[in-house]
Structure 1
Amino acid sequence: MVALFKPGYVYIDVGARNYSSSIGSWFRKRYPKQNKNFEIYAIEAGKAFHEEYATKKSLTVLPYAAWVRNETLFFEISREPRRKSEEKGIGMGRVQTVQSSSNFVSDFHKIQGFDFAAWLKNAVSMRDVVVVKMGVEGAEFHLIPRLVETDAICLIDELFLECHFNRWQKTYTQCLDLFSSLRKSGVLVHQWW
């Protein structure tokens, strides 16, 4: 007799920001879960959001930046006046590698980055149903190639990807190329706004 393993159901919000940005307002309320209980991970390097997650049940917070290796990074806070979050003192953040301590300036915070592809390969298996939302302010141009290179992309059943252009020196065409290459590789990917 062959043993059948029940699949796990996993939602990973990479660049989660606050709880209501996708977990509370979209995933828990609108994603078609078909009565399956999903294990939820919120990956968020911005310390301003960690206190809110401490009050939420049934999810695991990874207070780090998803990255291509385990290393110290700078987390740049962009304080754009048009963003509502500015009123709360919370700007959009993106990671940059630490090249020397002389690069550290006041709107940058040192954070720990972790190898997201390696973590994913240890956290889930091929039999699991894995849904990932990724909004990482330009780091997707590093993370996606790493996921492909390590075959960790094969563990993701559905990817909601926010692709950043112009602001991070990428073009919209490069974003379209990224989506196209993922789809050609068999990845079910949707654009996240």
Structure 2
Amino acid sequence: MRKIFIDCGGHCGCSIKKFIKGHSGFECFTFEPNPELAKYYEKLPTTLIAKAVWSDDGTTQFYLGGHWGHESSSLYAEKSNVNKDVYAIVEQINLGQWIKDNFNKDDFIVLKFGVEGAEYEVLDSMLKDGSLDYTNELYGEEHFKKHGSTINISRQKRDRIMSAVNTKIKFQNWCAQEDECIARPKVCK
């Protein structure tokens, strides 16, 4: 059995730092598509995959926010804190398929989301393809509460997805920005 930590939306590496403080023997993988943040991973014990997690493979526009504070980047141009005219074309990956291709259900997988609203699309896809069943612990930030309809999802769809997710595995709140980020003000609430 392998022990795996998958960090979706790694930003500056704060979640990896937080996770390894309390866990040993884990292989760590970080998905972070913002090319400006890759430098923060050079000395961290994780495999950086410079792609956005999504429900299928391809390329997409990744709307850039500022580096720090609440200025996170997003796949959603409608998100309130991004400039829809400032984006990078990035690769996206079907997270569920990647999990099924690289791990098995006997592995102990901790999955963390910080993907600025994309968690709903990805989790819905993982429910449908069975890859959520590979996950033993699930953490993240729910961005519906922060941004509401600016991420193109209705409350009814969000509630349906999260109810189905929580039937299988509890989605637990996660924030590492408080004390693990490099040169970042404390922003978690």
Structure 1 equivalent of residue 4 of structure 2: 10
* Alignment of 1:179 onto 2:168: no
* Alignment of 1:188 onto 2:170: yes
2:68 is paired with a residue whose SS is helix
Distance 1:150-1:171 versus aligned 2 partners, 3 A rule: closer
Segments of 5+ residues of structure 1 without an aligned counterpart are 1-6, 98-104
State the number of aligned residues: 165
Map Cα deviations across residues 115-143 of structure 1 (whole Å, 9 max, x no partner).
11111101111110000111111111210
Structure whose CA Rg is larger: 1
Structure 1 equivalent of residue 130 of structure 2: 151
State the AA in 2 paired with 1:46. Answer: N
Structure 1 equivalent of residue 41 of structure 2: 53
2:75 is paired with a residue whose SS is strand
State the AA in 2 paired with 1:113. Answer: Q
Structure 2 equivalent of residue 71 of structure 1: 58
For residues 180 and 96 of structure 1, what CA distance do their matches in structure 2 show?
23
Indicate if the aligned counterparts of 1:73 and 1:110 stay in contact, CA closer than 8 A: yes
What is the TM-score when the length of structure 1 is the normalising length? 0.76
Deviation at 1:180, TM superposition (A): 2.5
Structure 2 equivalent of residue 124 of structure 1: 103
What is the TM-score when the length of structure 2 is the normalising length? 0.78
Segments of 5+ residues of structure 2 without an aligned counterpart are 78-83, 176-189
Structure 2 equivalent of residue 23 of structure 1: 16
For residues 150 and 75 of structure 1, what CA distance do their matches in structure 2 show?
25
1:94 is paired with a residue whose SS is coil
* Alignment of 1:94 onto 2:74: yes
